[in-house]
Amino acid sequence: MNNAFAKRLSFTSPLDDDDADVIDNLCSRDRRVAAKRYILRDGDQMLRFPIMLEGWAACYQIMRNGSRQITGLLLPGDALYFDSYPDCPAIEEIVALCPSVVAFASHEEMDRAIQSRPTIGRAMRNYGRIKNAVMATWIVNVGRRDALERMAHLICEAFARLAMIGEVDGNSFHFPLTQDDFADVLGLTPVHVNRKLQQLRHEGLIHLRSKEMTIIDRYALQQVAGFDETYLRPAREAPATEDTLLGI
Amino acid sequence: MNNAFAKRLSFTSPLDDDDADVIDNLCSRDRRVAAKRYILRDGDQMLRFPIMLEGWAACYQIMRNGSRQITGLLLPGDALYFDSYPDCPAIEEIVALCPSVVAFASHEEMDRAIQSRPTIGRAMRNYGRIKNAVMATWIVNVGRRDALERMAHLICEAFARLAMIGEVDGNSFHFPLTQDDFADVLGLTPVHVNRKLQQLRHEGLIHLRSKEMTIIDRYALQQVAGFDETYLRPAREAPATEDTLLGI
DNA sequence: GAATTTCATTTACCTATGCTAATTTGGGAA
DNA sequence: TTCCCAAATTAGCATAGGTAAATGAAATTC
């Protein structure tokens, strides 16, 4: 299984080879996107929905004064299915944060995949649930964690999410955010991101250089963050009846 | 159509009487919940999912130091379908903020409703999309809006959401949050909520007394908030113009 | 209707983070 | 290799919002 989306889904609930093939076909129409290029513009009709196959992208909103808030990070294997609707204009923009490969899948094909393959339906439903949990956690981050905790939490989350699709190498992973991007994820200023990044370094928790992040002391980092990975975990093995599939 | 959930869904895409009946049946198992009582506890198995029929509830997380962040407000007609998964433990808690009526619907029945009635499926999908948009907007609120803007934005959002189900009376509506609750929604302290609430009052934008909120100058309030209701709107509507403002 | 609890309000003081602006670093382009 | 530009770093000052503690005003309860 090479397809990142299939890997991501199969992490939430098991997929067989046929499922993986179906997913792979969904992703057949893909495109290379350079860093800083738009994957989706505000107001675009979402006739198709994006699936990240390689690279990172950010979903964001721009304020009147020009400041930006990133509302979600799309890592390899992430898709915008539930956030989009055929013929509905997008209300957020998405940019590639590094050179990426993005598939543009059709809603119809996905709907058909979900309906014809209950395991895919279950996996998608569960994937959607986890995405919601991630968003809720981001609200908690900006609302109630201070800058250091917030930063530590995001690093833990990124690690956990990348680990699901095998994109970590020990405790290291590719982390393409600039400090400006990082600030827009955390709701901070770039200057403050710099300060707190150094604090994490000085405290011996992480190492970050030329977009390569190494978590030196994972336990300590999770302690700082108050990170509990439960929210990212798949559902317990559900009694897989025909009825529990997401038939939308 | 009396069922709040049916009203809410039919706002996102039209439902006929039969659809409404199906929805109504889904809600047959309902329960009265007193203010401050749990609707869902952390770790509960979500064999059923809650639907608000009357009253307000809050979805929240508690931090190590005891502080709380509310990650979503459940208004009449709101449901936790996509955030839940049969047999999966809840990771957030939900409390009633005022005396409420909550239906507990079964996943199986809902799945069947979605499958047998395409209009319900479409409405649910669209409802889920809007809920995601609301969450994203909350991230933007806490991340990039200052206290006053944030507060104004939430009031605008509450008004718009209540208007969808006909729970506003002119520019007034029931607003049961205490200042402590409000603080936990906005990621502020109760003291600061008090300060900013008074500012909104002194500037002649709102009136709030014994849980009754009146928006005195809606346009000005939206200006302060930088509120753009587009994200709450159903799919497939004409592009935003002055007169399509929620049709209110 | 007195007692009690919950909410709202106010004040004074404090700190985490923002803001501005200058300087340095480093990785790619030529 | 050199240059160049985006990114990172540093410093000094400014402020929005936090903290703590006390008081007043409404609701609830008995």
A193-CA/D12-C1' distance, Å: 18
Note whether B206 and B171 are within 8 A (CB).
no
Distance CA A140, CA B60 (A): 9
* pLDDT tens-place string over residues A14-29: 999 999 999 999 999 9
Distance CA A51, CA A102 (A): 6
A191-CA/C23-C1' distance, Å: 14
pLDDT of residue B98: 96
Give the mean pLDDT of A214-234: 96
Q: Is the CB of B69 under 7 A from strand D?
A: no
Q: Quick check: B69 and A144 CB within 8 A?
A: yes
pLDDT of residue A244: 40
Which residues are registered as beta bridge partners of A62? Answer: A68
> Which chain B residues are closer than 8 Å to A139 by Cβ?
69, 71, 135, 138-139, 142
> Which chain B residues are closer than 8 Å to A144 by Cβ?
63, 67-69, 187
* pLDDT tens-place string over residues B100-130: 999 999 999 999 999 999 999 999 999 999 9
Of B92, B125, B129, which is closest to A136 when you measure between CB atoms? B92
| Position B224, amino acid | V
Q: Which residues in chain B show pLDDT less than 70? A: 236-248
pLDDT exceeding 70 applies to what percent of chain A?
95
pLDDT of residue A10: 95
pLDDT of residue A237: 58
Q: Locate the chain A residue with the closest alpha carbon to B150.
A: A143
Give the mean pLDDT of A196-215: 96
Using CB atoms within 10 Å of the CB of residue A189, give its burial: 0 to 12 exposed, 13 to 18 middle, 19+ buried.
middle
> Which chain A residues are closer than 8 Å to B144 by Cβ?
63, 67-69, 187
pLDDT of residue B245: 30
Q: Locate the chain B residue with the closest alpha carbon to A233.
A: B88
∠ CA A15-A20-A21, rounded to 5°? 145
The residue whose two tokens read 């928790």 is A205
Domain B146-232 has CATH 1.10.150.240: no
pLDDT exceeding 90 applies to what percent of chain A?
89
Q: Tell me the backbone φ, ψ of residue B212, rounded to 5 degrees.
A: -110, 115
Mean pLDDT of chain A, nearest integer = 93
B143-CA/D6-C1' distance, Å: 25
Nucleotides of D under 7 A from a protein CB: 6-12, 16-21, 26-27
The bridge status of strand A212-215 relative to strand A206-209 is antiparallel
Q: Locate the chain A residue with the closest alpha carbon to B59.
A: A136
A230-CA/D19-C1' distance, Å: 32
Calculate how close chain B gets to A14, using CA atoms only, in Å. 16
pLDDT at A49 over 70: yes
3-state secondary structure of A94: strand
Using the Cα atoms of residue A167, residue A130, residue B62 and residue A190 in order, give the sign of their dihedral. positive
Q: Is the CB of B220 under 7 A from strand C?
A: no
> Which chain B residues are closer than 8 Å to A126 by Cβ?
85, 88
Q: Which CATH number fits domain A4-137: 1.10.287.3510, 2.60.120.10, 2.70.150.10, 3.30.70.120?
A: 2.60.120.10
Q: Quick check: A244 and B108 CB within 8 A?
A: yes
Distance CA B88, CA B31 (A): 22
**pLDDT-based confidence at residue A1 (cuts at 50, 70, 90):** confident
Residue with minimal CA–C1' distance to C18 is: A189
- Angle, helix A218-225 to helix A147-164, in steps of 10 degrees: 130
CB within 8 A of B93, min separation 6: which ones? B38, B40, B41, B42, B59, B60, B61, B62
Distance CA A72, CA B87 (A): 27
The domain spans of chain A are 4-137, 146-232
pLDDT of residue B87: 81
pLDDT of residue A246: 42
pLDDT of residue A169: 95
Give, rounded to a whole angstrom, the gap between the first and last alpha carbons of chain B.
19
pLDDT of residue B237: 53
**pLDDT-based confidence at residue A42 (cuts at 50, 70, 90):** confident
Q: pTM value? A: 0.95
Q: Quick check: B235 and A87 CB within 8 A?
A: yes
Distance CA B74, CA B71 (A): 10
Calculate how close chain A gets to B225, using CA atoms only, in Å. 10
Task: For strand C, list residues 25-54 of chain B whose Cβ lies within 7 Å of it.
Answer: 36
Task: For strand D, list residues 178-197 of chain A whose Cβ lies within 7 Å of it.
Answer: 178-180, 190-191, 194-195, 197
Which range (A143-157, A234-248, B171-185) has the least confidence? A234-248
pLDDT of residue A61: 97
